[in-house]
Amino acid sequence: MKKKVLLSAITIGLLSSVSLSAADDFASMFSEGKASGQIRGFSISRSIEYTDSNEDFTRDATAIGGHLKFVTGNYNGLSLGTAFYTTNGFSIENPRTASTVDPTLLGPDNESYSILGEAFLKLNIDKSVFVGGRQKVKNAVISSDDARMLPNLVEEYSATNKSIANTTLSIRHTTKFAQGTFGRAYGGGILSATGGYSAGDSKNQVGKFVNMGTYAVGESTDGVTSFSAVYTGIKGLKLQISDYHAHDIMNTIYADASYKMKIDSMTPFVAFQIIKQNDIGDQLLKNTAISTNGKLDSLYYAIKAGVSVNNFTAYAAYSATGANSDAEKEKEGTATNSIITMWGGMPAYTQGMVTRHHNLAGTKATKLVAVYNWKSFGPDLKTVAYYANYSMDKNNGYTYGDAKETGFDIIYNTSFVKNLQLRLRGNYADDFKVNTDGDTIGWSEYRFIANYNF
């Protein structure tokens, strides 16, 4: 409540600081504003198979929705914006059980929902940009993760500056998180906490803005304060480093370096990333089932290398995390050497379309990707094929052995309807989870998505 009052006071102060003729200019801000949005239709079907049981089933769902956004014109650097998001299921089977309805397109109890997802003030001053309020963001640890119907959204206050040549500096303070529909694929626990969502409950905390700590570990905190720097002063080279201080939970340092160069018709590239996490303050991860004392001391690293030749791109990636010892798992829980990311962030080179086991403790992951752009042949079409393997340790708290995922992605920007994109995605998971009895889970999943942007 205090932050809302503060934001209102800042807004009033900025508006009243212009001149007495500002009323006319304030009105013109709205008359010169622009509306935009997206209509999204999404259909998903997953056929799940168990190797040693008769529990096979297929779950599916179809929904239509999207968002409508309005941003005012700019007056003396000031603009306001708002966006409304909605998802609406249809032909959803009853009863709406876990084995009949795919949960990732809808809200709690597999119901439709709507949300005022964005309501922000933006101020441009010289080489600085200030943004405050509800918004959609994409960062290493906190991100929209827009993989199903509605994205994750945040309440955040940020300042970005580009006064130093080729360098972007940012400071952010994120107070609330509104989980989108994708997080409902999880239900809390170690897979959820390493997959981008709440360690406690990612099924029901959907479609509402919740304190960052309450969402992640069930206890209110002062949010997440982050700093980042991005440097692009050398041709082909991009360096970035960020620090995310999740008050009384953990501190995360993320660094990424990438380089590409042109050699005749080829463009080889290489990238390296690292994530280091440690517990801090009251170590509130101890309030969850994945940690007995809130301790974190984890390290993830990854490398990616590939080449682009004309319309074709291929790359290979590898990542690894430290493993939990028997004593650590027994005394501290499974989180200790895992990479915990509970607010949608998922920057890893080795994540699959579905599988995110790369963040589990003691995982070595590889991924191979091939991409072809067919635009030179006429259609604005891109095809993607990939293979990922996850070799996992017995002490990660979820599964062990090797899990595999293959898949494809076909993206077509149509010529017969301007701004309409059609997308077909498929993924095939083998040994996604191996339980103590040796039973494994796998599936075949297909998604059809239609996005109309306006």
The answer to whether the CB of 121 falls within 8 A of the CB of 131 is: yes
Q: Give kind and range of the element (H or E) at residue 208.
A: none
Q: CA–CA distance from 56 to each of 52, 403, 434, 445 (Å)?
A: 10, 19, 15, 14
How far is it, in rounded angstroms, from Cα 16 to Cα 10? 10
In which band, very low, low, confident or very high, does the pLDDT at 29 lie, cut at 50, 70 and 90? confident
Average the pLDDT over 367-371 and give the result. 98
Strands 364-373 and 167-178: unpaired
Average the pLDDT over 285-303 and give the result. 97
What's the pLDDT at 64? 98
The answer to whether the CB of 260 falls within 8 A of the CB of 267 is: yes
In which band, very low, low, confident or very high, does the pLDDT at 24 lie, cut at 50, 70 and 90? low
Count CB-CB contacts under 10 A for residue 283: 17
What's the pLDDT at 382? 98
Residue 293 burial by Cβ neighbours in a 10 Å radius (0-12, 13-18, 19+): middle
Could you give the 3-state DSSP secondary structure of residue 378? coil
Token pair 């570990």: residue: 217
How far is it, in rounded angstroms, from Cα 75 to Cα 123? 9
How far is it, in rounded angstroms, from Cα 316 to Cα 68? 38
- The whole model's pTM is what? 0.91
Give me the phi and psi of 187, to 5 degrees please.
-140, 30
Q: Give kind and range of the element (H or E) at residue 108.
A: none
Residue 207 burial by Cβ neighbours in a 10 Å radius (0-12, 13-18, 19+): buried
What's the pLDDT at 11? 40
Average the pLDDT over 262-284 and give the result. 97
Contacts 24+ apart (CB under 8 A), 17-26: 18/75, 18/76, 22/75, 25/75, 26/75
Q: Token pair for residue 78?
A: 């000031």
How far is it, in rounded angstroms, from Cα 243 to Cα 171? 10
Task: List residues bridging with 442 in a β-sheet.
Answer: 49
pLDDT in tens, 221-252: 999 999 999 999 999 999 999 999 999 999 99
Residue 163 burial by Cβ neighbours in a 10 Å radius (0-12, 13-18, 19+): exposed
* Average pLDDT of the chain, as a whole number: 93
Could you give the 3-state DSSP secondary structure of residue 323? coil
User: What is the percentage of the chain residues whose pLDDT exceeds 70?
Assistant: 94
Report angle CA 14, 19, 23 to the nearest 5 degrees. 80
Average the pLDDT over 174-178 and give the result. 98
Give me the phi and psi of 49, to 5 degrees please.
-125, 135
How far is it, in rounded angstroms, from Cα 362 to Cα 335? 11
What's the pLDDT at 5? 40
The answer to whether the CB of 184 falls within 8 A of the CB of 202 is: yes
pLDDT in tens, 100-154: 999 999 999 999 999 999 999 999 999 999 999 999 999 999 999 999 999 999 9
What's the pLDDT at 28? 85
- Domains (ranges, CATH) in the chain? 32-453 (2.40.160.10)
What's the pLDDT at 96? 83
How far is it, in rounded angstroms, from Cα 345 to Cα 160? 20
